[in-house]
Amino acid sequence: MQRTSDKISAIFIIILLCTVWASAQHNSTKEHTYVEPPSLLISRMDGNSTSDYRIRGQRVLAVGVGSVFVGRGAGERYPSRASGSHNTFVGDRSGRGLISASWNSFFGMNSGYSNTFGSTNAFFGALAGSANTRGSGNSFFGYAAGRSNLVQNHSSFFGFQAGRLNTGGVNSFFGAYSGEGNTRGIRNAFFGYKSGRSNRTSNDNSFFGYVAGERNTNGTNNAFFGSSAGARNTIGSENAFFGSQSGTRNTTGRGNSFFGYNSGQTNTTGRNNSFFGTSSGSSNRDGNNNSFFGREAGRANLTGASNAFFGANSGRSNVSGTGNAFFGAFSGEVNTTGRQNSFFGTGSGGSNTSGFSNAFFGSSAGRGNNDGIGNAFFGSRSGESNSDGDGNSYFGRNTGTANTSGSNNSLFGVSAGTRNLAGENSFFGASSGFENTTGASNSFFGYRSGARNTTSSRNSFFGHSSGTANTGGRDNSFFGSDSGRSNTSGVNNSFFGSASGFANTNGQNNTFFGARTGQRSTASSNSFFGSLAGFENTTGSLNAFFGSSAGRANTTAGFNAFFGGSAGGRNTTGEANSFFGARSGLANTTGNSNAFFGSGSGESNTTAGGNTLFGYGSGDATTTGGGNTFIGNQSGRANVTGAFNTLLGASSNVAADGLSFATAIGVNSVVAASNTIQLGRNGQDTVRIGTLGSAGSTTLCLNASSEISSCSSSIRYKSNLRNFDFGLSIISKLNPVSFNWLENGRLDFGLVAEDVFKIEPLLTTFDKNGKVEGVKYDRIGIVLINAVKEQQSQIERQSKLIEKQRVEIDALKAFVCSKNEAAEFCRK
């Protein structure tokens, strides 16, 4: 029984024989050659497809396994000079060059003409694959399709002259002239009439549609889909065009993605663009790094770069604006040259033409902006009327709705700054700065903060209802719920803390920090820091209270400075006091001009004034004694009513209360009497004065600045040096005397300064009034040096005279003795 494959081969051969016979019969009339009719040939067939038959001398069936050759010169070398199986060659000289190849199907004149060793090829059409020699796995369909292919494999060409000049491999060309000019390009896929027709050596391209990528020569990694898509592209690479006429005029632009009819149509050299939607970016020529999404998005863009338009008609009129981001239908629709804008929401930035560095978010946000710069509007209708205002930031529905040209505003919250017309304001919170019109440089944070402010400027209100009533006050800073709530016209105030400065209406230059600080104050120039500090103050001015409850009871007193918890807590009318430290000056009520430093210092002081107490617990028992200065930890603790005492050193003290003008210096030093200075502890301490000397005793002097210091004689401190030659002339005139001191009658001796002044003024000192005061006894030593020098000169002269006389005497003696040896002075 015959196999099914044999039956199919037989049927196929019969059809071929009928076709060939009809052609031969037509030709035989001219050539007077008889052609045996197919019926006779068929009658001879036994159903074995391996039989060999000839028509006009040409074989119809070859001897090889599963091969069929039909046509003059088809498979001509087989089997005498060739080998292979399962080849089907139909057409004049089809497969003529066969040497050793299998599983080929060539149909058409000269199809596969030069094929020698190529296998598994399918060539259909006259001259299809005619130059192929060793290429395998190729499929060429159409006249001259793949005509120039030599040794490349796995290409598929369909259409008239598709891939005609191809020498590269792994290409797929579909459509008349598609890939016609391709030579060495590989891994390309062209579909459509003339698609990729001019491609030469470029690789990895995909062109789909009528004349898609027609002029591409060296561009690689492109994907063009749609009629005329990328039709003029030459060397542009890494592009993706989807839609009829998308990227039609692109030549060298690369890295572009165009999706939609007419998208990126006029792009020529623009790079890294993404256009999605009908006519999106259709006018772009050489703009780079743009992303347009939506019908006619960025339609007029010509050279604008780095833009992102999302939504129908978004950025529709943009020509050269760069760095813009428009999201939403009609967003930035009329923008032409504006740059670095971000519009999000339907109609946002709809009127912007040349404004740049703006950010509008929300339906109709910044809709009226024309050439405003550096604005940020977030929320429905935010900044809706802004035309040329710059540097504004609006966040929330209806924020800054009325603003037209005001600049540098920051409005956050529903209806914040709704009526604002001025600039440099910052409103944060629902209805904050709601009624502000021309007030500028204000900062309002919190629900209804500064809500009634209209024309005042340079205010800062932070907290629920802070500064709510303010209308004409300026340069104020209110922080905390209800802080400065009643202020209307007060200026230069700073209130920090819940209800701080609550009652202030027109007070000026106040600074309150802490919950309820200065809550009842209406005065000016106060500084209160700490919970309840200055709580009761009403009209007292120029006070500074720091610490919880510091100066809490103060009402009308001024010029006080209290630092520390409860410092000056009971003070009512005492003025010009300075208390530093917890509970310092706690009991003071009416005492004035006190300075207490240290925890508990002056704690018991009530009415005394003019005290200066430094150190923990210093003078903590003093009540009414004034004019005291106690410095040191727990100094002056024994004093209660004593006045004008000075105690320096930790635990320095008075021996008893009630002393005055008593001074004790040193740790634990105690002064026992009034009008007395005590240095150190009795009999236990040494008084030392540091000097410049490093060892030995040192003389102290009063220098030119009336300071006690080491006596210096260095030339570093001197000028106009001259010799001082006086000596004996001064010394001989000085008259030492003995005397008694008037103060205590003590006997002493020395010189009378007034007498010395008459002899040499340089040897005397003077008081502050220029009167002679004392004698510079140390300078007398300098005069003595000259006196000694003078006496030494006299001694030397006398010595020389004596020596001369001695020589002369000796000579006389010798002469006399030579004449009279018996003379007495000649005897030895």
- The top-scoring range by mean pLDDT among 26-35, 683-692, 786-795 is 786-795
Q: How far is CA 255 from CA 247, 267, 437, 615, 817, in A?
A: 12, 12, 51, 78, 143
Q: How far apart are CA 625 and CA 611, in angstroms?
A: 8
Residue 81 token pair: 């000079």
Q: What are the strands, taking DSSP E only, across 52-153?
A: 54-55, 58-59, 68-70, 88-90, 105-107, 122-124, 139-141
Q: Nearest 5°: phi and psi at 356?
A: -135, 165
Residue 45 token pair: 């067939």
Residues 304-356: tens digit of each pLDDT = 899 888 989 988 888 888 998 889 888 888 888 888 888 888 888 888 888 88
**What does the pLDDT read at residue 55?**
57
Residue 627 pLDDT class (50, 70, 90 cuts): very high
Of residues 510 and 37, which shows the higher confidence score? 510
**What does the pLDDT read at residue 8?**
43
List of residues 6+ apart from 717 with CB closer than 8 A: none
Q: Nearest 5°: phi and psi at 618?
A: -65, 130
Q: What share of the chain in percent tops pLDDT 70?
A: 89
Report the pLDDT averaged over residues 624-646.
95
**What does the pLDDT read at residue 746?**
92
Triad 790, 791, 795: Cα angle to 5°: 120
List of residues 6+ apart from 119 with CB closer than 8 A: 84, 101, 102, 103, 104, 136, 137
Q: How far is CA 304 from CA 299, 309, 317, in A?
A: 11, 12, 11
**What does the pLDDT read at residue 15?**
53
Residues 382-407: tens digit of each pLDDT = 888 888 889 888 888 888 888 888 89
Residue 473 has pLDDT above 70, yes or no: yes
- The top-scoring range by mean pLDDT among 240-249, 639-648, 762-771 is 639-648
Report the pLDDT averaged over residues 195-216.
90
Three-class secondary structure assignment of 549-567: CCCCCCCCCCCCEEECCCC
User: Given phi > 0 = left and psi -120 to 50 = alpha, else beta, which region is 373?
Assistant: beta
Three-class secondary structure assignment of 18-58: HHHHHHHHHHHHHHCCCCCCHHHHHHHCCCCCCCCCEECCE
Could you tell me the pTM of the whole model?
A: 0.53
Domain ranges of the chain: 4-42, 256-332, 735-775, 791-826
**What does the pLDDT read at residue 714?**
82
Q: How far apart are CA 125 and CA 661, in angstroms?
A: 133
Question: CA gyration radius for the chain?
Answer: 59
Strand-pair partners of 619: none
Report the pLDDT averaged over residues 197-217.
90
Q: Tell which residue, 638, 633, 639, has the closest CA to residue 618.
A: 633
**What does the pLDDT read at residue 648?**
96
Q: How far apart are CA 762 and CA 766, in angstroms?
A: 10
**What does the pLDDT read at residue 52?**
55
Residue 743 pLDDT class (50, 70, 90 cuts): confident
Other beta carbons within 10 Å of 139: 20
The rounded mean pLDDT for the chain is 86
**What does the pLDDT read at residue 58?**
54
**What does the pLDDT read at residue 706?**
66
Strand-pair partners of 654: 671
Residue 684 has pLDDT above 70, yes or no: no
Residue 687 has pLDDT above 60, yes or no: yes
Residues 557-612: tens digit of each pLDDT = 999 999 999 999 999 999 999 999 999 999 999 999 999 999 999 999 999 999 99
**What does the pLDDT read at residue 352?**
87
**What does the pLDDT read at residue 48?**
45
Lowest mean pLDDT among 460-474, 554-568, 705-719: 705-719
Strand, coil or helix: 102: coil
Residues 61-109: tens digit of each pLDDT = 544 678 889 989 898 887 777 788 999 999 999 999 888 999 999 999 9
Lowest mean pLDDT among 2-6, 99-103, 234-238, 371-375: 2-6
**What does the pLDDT read at residue 9?**
47
Three-class secondary structure assignment of 606-672: CCCCCCEEECCCCCCCCCCCCCCEEECCCCCCCCCCCECCEEECCCCEECCCCCECCEEECCCCEEC
Q: Is 687 exposed, middle or buried (0-12, 13-18, 19+ CB in 10 A)?
A: exposed
Report the pLDDT averaged over residues 514-531.
91
Q: How far apart are CA 309 and CA 298, in angstroms?
A: 6
**What does the pLDDT read at residue 2?**
43
Beta strand 737-740 pairing with 747-750: antiparallel
Residue 16 pLDDT class (50, 70, 90 cuts): low
**Residue 392: CA atoms inside 13 Å, Cβ hemisphere, count?**
41
User: Residues 483-514, buried b or exposed e (16+ Cβ, 10 A)?
Assistant: bbbbbbebbbbbbbbbbbbbbbeebbbbbbbb
**What does the pLDDT read at residue 370?**
84
Strand-pair partners of 512: 495, 528
- State the sign of the Cα–Cα–Cα–Cα dihedral 779, 781, 786, 787: positive
Q: Tell which residue, 242, 315, 311, 330, has the closest CA to residue 283.
A: 315
Cβ-contact 423, 437 below 8 angstroms: no
Q: How far apart are CA 299 and CA 263, in angstroms?
A: 8
Residues 116-158: tens digit of each pLDDT = 999 999 999 999 999 999 999 999 999 988 888 888 899 899 9
**Residue 33: CA atoms inside 13 Å, Cβ hemisphere, count?**
13
